[in-house]
Amino acid sequence: MKQLKDDFVFLFYVSMLSMDQEIGLNICEALQKVNKKLQETNFKLTVRISKRWDGFRGEIWDQKFVDDNLSPYAGNIRKVWISGPPGMNETLDKSFEKLATKLGIKPHFIDAM
C-alpha cells in the first residue's frame, strides 16, 4: 500500500445478472474488508444485480451513470477497464467517448475486453 500515491483510488464496478451467476464477488468483498481493516480508502466496490428477488433492476450503466459516478474524478482518471457482454461494453465505450473532454480522459485510457 505504501507504494501507491496518497491520491490513488481504485473504483471497481461489478454488474451481474443474478447472484446465482456471480463469479469472484467474494474476492472483491474480501479486498474491500481488508482495505477497511487497514483503514485505507483507496478501494471502492459498487455491485449491481440485474435480477433481484424484489424485481428492482438497479441503475442502468449508461452515459448518465458514467457522468454521475466519475465526474468527481474528472482530470484524475488514468485507466478504465471494461469487461462485460458486448452490449454493455459498447454502451460504456460510447459513453466514455462522449464524456472524454469533461472527464479529462484520452482514448488510450480505455480498454474494453
Burial classification of residue 70, based on how many CB atoms lie within 10 Å of its CB (0-12 exposed, 13-18 middle, 19 or more buried):
buried
Q: What is the pLDDT of residue 10?
A: 85
Query: What percentage of the chain carries pLDDT values higher than 70?
Result: 87
Phi, psi of 14 (to 5 degrees): -120, 135
For residue 13, pLDDT beyond 80: yes
Q: What is the pLDDT of residue 20?
A: 78
| Domain ranges within the chain, ordered by starting residue | 8-58, 59-113
Contacts of 69 (CB under 8 A, 6+ apart): 11, 13, 46
Structure confidence by residue, pLDDT tens digits, 65-90: 899 989 999 998 988 888 777 777 88
* DSSP character at residue 107: G
The set of cell numbers assigned to 36 is: 477497511
Q: What is the pLDDT of residue 4?
A: 61
Residues 93-113 have a mean pLDDT of 89
Q: Give the residue carrying C-alpha cell 474491500.
A: 32
User: How far is it, in rounded angstroms, from Cα 41 to Cα 35?
Assistant: 7
For residue 1, pLDDT beyond 60: no
Least confident of 33-42, 47-56, 77-86: 47-56
Per the CB < 8 A criterion, the answer to whether 43 and 12 are in contact is yes
Q: Give the residue carrying C-alpha cell 445478472.
A: 17
Residue 92: pLDDT band with limits 50, 70, 90? confident
